[in-house]
Amino acid sequence: MSDERKIRVLVAKPGLDGHDRGAKVIASAFRDAGFEVVYTGLHQTPEMIVNAAIQEDVDVVAMSVLSGAHMTLFPRVKALLDELGADHILLTGGGIIPENDVADLELEGIGRLFGPGTSTSDAIAYVKEWFSTTDDA
């Protein structure tokens, strides 16, 4: 990966949920995998997340949602990315998300969503695979 551009990931914790252990674990795992990682911290609005993603010129936004607001937060961030011409950014993430909701979110263009207990290596492999198929520049 020496001559290749590093994958840039924004790890975001939207909404009122104050539990950020999972977000910190995945941010650390992404860094250890050689990604450049920006962690936004707690209580981010969709607008704050998208603005940071664009400012930081990231390839991926990975959101951690445990509050039950996933059917609002993921689509809102996706819509904002699309509106601002940043539809090339992968929106993925994880949290407590029922399977039916995962399927609905995927239909809206949200990337793979990871539930509790998922190995960080699964998320890393997913992002690397996505990046390798989209980064032809």
CATH number at residue 49: 3.40.50.280
Coil/strand/helix, residue 117: coil
What is the span of the domain harbouring residue 72?
8-134
In a domain, 120, yes or no: yes
Residues 94-121: what's their mean pLDDT? 96
Taking CB atoms within 8 Å and a gap of at least 24, the contacts of 127-134 are 127/7, 127/9, 127/30, 127/35, 127/60, 127/62, 127/90, 127/92, 128/7, 128/33, 130/60, 130/90, 131/7, 131/59, 131/60, 131/90, 134/59, 134/88, 134/90
Residue 2 lies in a domain: no
Rounded mean pLDDT, 27-54: 97
Looking at this protein, which amino acid is placed at residue 16?
L
What's the half-sphere exposure (Cβ side, CA atoms, 13 Å) at 87?
6
Split at pLDDT 50, 70, 90, the class of 17 is confident
Tell me, yes or no, whether 52 lies in a domain: yes
What is the reported pTM? 0.94
Per-residue confidence (pLDDT) for residue 135, from 0 to 100: 63
Structural domains of the chain, count: 1
Residue 67 lies in a domain: yes
Encoding tokens for residue 24?
């910190």
Please indicate, yes or no, if residue 1 is contained in any of the structural domains.
Answer: no
